[in-house]
Structure formats: structure tokens, C-alpha cells
């Protein structure tokens, strides 16, 4: 199997082996995509493994469930503890953590309400999301012919599995045309986000990113970037980004848990800036990874150290 997984999986409060973390094909989620999930990185640090912005991810999962009227049996604190224990029992030094809350086996038909809610948390070793050279040299991307999910159809503030059918269309088209990733416009034709990343545009030392109303996931890395940019004296403005602003930017980068901060060196074969990662992107990338890996002081309290009592966090 290609997944470099850790053996223990958390299921409704108990640890089970990876091989037993299976479900019936009649589960509601299989037909209807009834699943809310998260993606969180645990970094190796000199003080042992640390989960990056654990509480914020747990809160976003709770928010996603609320939007979909899914009553989560676990509090945000319970989820934080479960993920911390999962890293501990797996003796992991670093991991990508994937909590999933979905409707299981009970009844078929669109109405989900009669189906049990299952909570699983898996983790595995995940390297560089967009290729080994991506962080260093940047990637070549396109603007997708597929729009991002429109407002009042699938809510983009919820991290729902079903949203990723739209992401898959964007990703597959990009790959089929020889690009690493695609940027989606929203239903009005303005920039939204990548298939699995938020996007930032830099021009003349001004940084902009599309606001949440342009069908973007409220990314936690996006939030970290906004904080770190402010620290560098370059406050980010959340404003509508027309497509063509991408082409004439000095720098454009993607950010996300998996993608971290990935520079874009060309968009639709138009070279961005000098065609290599620019100074703002590099500085933000270095700062984010220094904090995440415990090399720099954690001044915002973003790291949840796994081998400390939960109360101390
Ligand atoms: N937008 C989308 C659509 C998205 O999927 C992600 C995360 C982001 C923005 C960035 O959010 P955040 O991780 O909170 O900074 N995408 C996750 C899933 C990738 C996957 O292939 O699965 C991720 O980066 O973990």
C-alpha cells in the first residue's frame, strides 16, 4: 500500500488496528459523501512531536459538523486529547493527522439523520505534498476551467469530503494538462483557491488574499500567514483578487497544512515575477517552518507538544 500509515487508529474513543478501520459500502457516506474532516500536521521538534494549531483544527471540525447538523459526540478538548494520544500510542515523531466524522450504516436515502455518526482519526507519514522541489523552486500551475463551489450550494467554510469532488476536477484537469496544481476562480470569475490550498498574491510589497466570501476554506495556514506577515510589517488585506492580478504579481504562493508555503513560479505558462520564489514568500516560508519545527520561539502558542500534560497547553 502506498500510504505510509501508523498502525493505531482512533475509533469512537478506542484504538483499533489500521486493518480493522473499515466500513460497509452501504454506509451513508459512500453514496452521499456525508463526511467532515480535518488535516493536521505533527512536526518533529527538539522537544519531541508537536501538533501544529491543534485546537484550531479541532474547532474547525466542530464548526464543519455544526454547519451540516451533525452532532459530534466529542468536544473540541476531547478531539485534542484523542489526537495527542494517537501520536503517543503510535510513537510517531511526525505525522499527518486525519480526523473523519461521517454518517455510517443505518439507512439509505438522502436524509442522513437516521444514520450513526462515526468518528475516526488516522495518521500517516506524509512528505512534500506538491513534489520534492516544490517548496524550494516553486511550481507551475494553471487557472482551472472549473469554478470553485458556489455560495449557497456547498458551503466552503465547512471542510466536507463532498467539496473535494470539485477539488478533484480541478486537480485532474491541471495534471492532465501538465501542471502540478490548479487555481479555481469563484462563480463570479474572481480568484478563489487551489484544489487544496489557499492563495496569496504579492505586488509592490502589498499582500492580498481572497476573503472567505470568495468560496475559500478558512485555512489555518492562511491565518498563520496573515499573522506572520503582520509581524514582518506587511499586513495582508483580504480583498477580491481578479484573475489577471495573478499574472502581473511579483510573487504568488499557495498555503495549506499539506502544501505548507509553496511558491508558484508560473501560472498558465506566464512567469510570475522572476520565475523563482520571491523574498516575501521565502521569508514567510522560513518563519512558518521555523516555528512549526520548534526552531523559533512559539510566540503565538501554535504548538501542542505531545509529551506534555494536556492541561499545560
Ligand atoms: N483550501 C482547501 C480547499 C483545502 O483543502 C485546504 C487544506 C486549504 C485551503 C488550506 O487549509 P489549512 O490546511 O487549514 O491551512 N487541504 C488539506 C487537504 C489536502 C489533501 O489532499 O487531503 C491540507 O492541506 O491538509
User: Topology of domain 134-277, per CATH?
Assistant: D-amino Acid Aminotransferase; Chain A, domain 2 (3.20.10)
**Closest by alpha carbon to 160, among 74, 32, 53?**
32
pLDDT of residue 247: 98
Our answer on whether the CB atom of 222 is closer than 6 Å to any ligand 1 atom is: yes
Phi first, then psi, for residue 155 (nearest 5°) are: -70, 125
With H, G, I as helix, E, B as strand and everything else as coil, classify residue 279: helix
144-177, pLDDT tens digit by residue? 999 999 999 999 999 999 999 999 999 999 999 9
Q: Is 159 a catalytic residue?
A: yes
pLDDT of residue 311: 53
Q: How far is the CA of 39 from the centre of ligand 1 (A)?
A: 7
Catalytic residue, chosen from 55, 66, 128, 159, is 159
pLDDT over 60 (residue 312):
no
User: Which CATH number does the domain 8-124 belong to among 3.30.200.20, 3.40.50.150, 2.60.40.10, 3.30.470.10?
Assistant: 3.30.470.10
210-264, pLDDT tens digit by residue? 999 999 999 999 999 999 999 999 999 999 999 999 999 999 999 999 999 999 9
pLDDT of residue 1: 57
- CB atoms near residue 129 (< 10 Å): 20
Domain coordinates in residue numbering, the chain: 8-124, 134-277
User: What is the arithmetic mean of pLDDT over 72-80?
Assistant: 97
Taking the model in full, what pTM does it have?
Answer: 0.97
User: pLDDT-based confidence at 127, cuts 50/70/90?
Assistant: confident
Q: How far is the CA of 305 from the centre of ligand 1 (A)?
A: 22
Q: Please report, to the nearest 10 degrees, the dihedral formed by the alpha carbons of residues 88, 6, 40, 67 taken in order.
A: -100
User: What is the arithmetic mean of pLDDT over 70-94?
Assistant: 98
Amino acid at each position: 500500500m502506498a500510504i505510509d500509515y501508523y498502525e493505531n487508529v482512533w475509533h469512537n474513543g478506542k484504538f483499533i488496528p489500521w486493518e480493522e478501520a473499515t466500513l460497509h459500502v452501504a454506509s451513508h457516506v459512500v453514496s452521499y459523501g456525508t463526511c467532515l474532516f480535518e488535516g493536521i500536521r505533527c512536526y518533529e521538534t527538539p522537544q519531541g512531536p508537536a501538533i501544529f494549531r491543534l485546537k484550531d483544527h479541532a474547532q474547525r471540525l466542530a464548526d464543519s459538523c455544526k454547519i451540516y447538523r451533525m452532532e459530534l459526540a466529542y468536544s473540541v478538548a476531547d478531539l485534542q486529547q484523542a489526537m495527542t494520544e494517537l501520536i503517543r500510542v503510535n510513537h510517531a515523531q511526525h505525522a499527518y493527522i486525519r480526523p473523519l466524522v461521517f454518517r455510517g450504516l443505518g439507512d439509505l436515502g438522502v436524509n442522513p439523520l437516521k444514520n450513526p455518526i462515526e468518528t475516526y482519526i488516522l495518521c500517516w507519514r506524509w512528505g512534500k505534498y506538491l513534489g520534492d522541489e516544490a517548496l524550494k523552486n516553486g511550481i507551475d500551475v494553471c487557472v482551472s476551467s472549473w469554478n470553485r463551489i458556489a455560495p449557497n450550494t456547498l458551503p466552503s467554510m465547512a471542510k466536507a469530503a463532498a467539496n473535494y469532488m470539485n477539488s478533484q476536477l480541478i486537480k485532474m484537469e491541471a495534471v492532465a494538462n501538465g501542471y502540478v496544481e490548479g487555481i479555481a476562480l469563484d462563480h463570479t470569475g474572481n480568484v478563489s483557491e487551489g484544489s487544496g490550498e489557499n492563495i496569496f498574491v504579492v505586488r509592490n510589497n502589498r499582500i492580498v488574499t481572497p476573503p472567505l466570501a470568495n468560496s475559500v476554506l478558512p485555512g489555518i495556514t492562511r491565518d498563520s500567514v496573515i499573522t506572520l506577515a503582520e509581524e514582518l510589517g506587511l499586513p495582508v488585506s483580504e480583498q477580491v483578487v481578479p484573475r489577471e492580478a495573478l499574472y502581473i504579481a511579483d510573487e504568488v504562493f499557495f498555503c495549506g497544512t499539506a502544501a505548507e508555503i509553496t511558491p508558484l513560479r508560473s501560472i498558465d505558462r506566464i512567469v510570475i515575477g522572476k520565475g523563482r520564489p520571491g523574498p516575501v514568500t521565502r521569508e514567510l516560508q522560513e518563519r512558518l517552518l521555523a516555528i512549526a519545527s520548534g526552531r523559533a520561539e512559539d510566540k503565538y502558542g501554535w504548538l501542542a507538544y505531545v509529551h506534555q500534560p494536556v492541561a499545560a497547553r
